[in-house]
Structure 1
């Protein structure tokens, strides 16, 4: 089994890598060869936290995985990011766990890449103005990704 801690992620994947991967997954989903399973998201009744699972399967690339994570608003007072997540990857042929990967940066990059794909294909070629609503953790990822389009 491969374990990739959060501290290693920045050295392994870039925003450009994320954009390419998300664009490929969207194309696979359009071809019906990849899909997401229903999302589970619940308030856990402790620490005002929301917790959820997101999972999916890409039949063409035999990629099977899930992201476990959520939002703990009190983490900011503990020196931690409020959003916490971990990605689990499985062998599509056996279901055996293949990897555990820190998911905080991956989530930020993936979220920004999804917006960037939309901008790439839907924005007018002469667009010069962008609006970002909110100034939280994700906003800088969104803006950087958008400006690269």
Structure 2
């Protein structure tokens, strides 16, 4: 469960507990292995409601960040959030490019922008030669392709 503490901007020493606002188990993507929110972020939407963006993982990062980035919504920043859905690509499919995690979301004059961390699922190489080959393949086929897609 996720608890929020708040303080008025006029007196940041006056903290109070707002109570539990969300549980990772409310998300249909949650499992016993992946039920913790990592680096969640909240943004006020253009409709005046508050949107909680997060990715699920296991305790201490165990269980992986297989995506997607999910969203919960509430009428107040410290209220009870309800699962809203997953971040989607323009074609309607779940946004699971690479392994997305740690969303940071801003409302830029009415345009909602999301920044996120990402990783690639790579097992530990068995030798230096294999590590060099993987590095070359990743640089040529994944990282350069990603740079071209992002421009």
Which structure dedicates a bigger proportion of its chain to strand? 2
Check whether TM > 0.5: no
**Bin of the TM-score, shorter chain as denominator length:** under 0.3
**Under a length normalisation based on structure 1, what TM-score does the superposition of the two structures give?**
0.28
**1 or 2 for the larger relative contact order (CA 8 Å, sep ≥6)?**
1
**Under a length normalisation based on structure 2, what TM-score does the superposition of the two structures give?**
0.28
> Which of structures 1 and 2 has the bigger CA Rg?
2
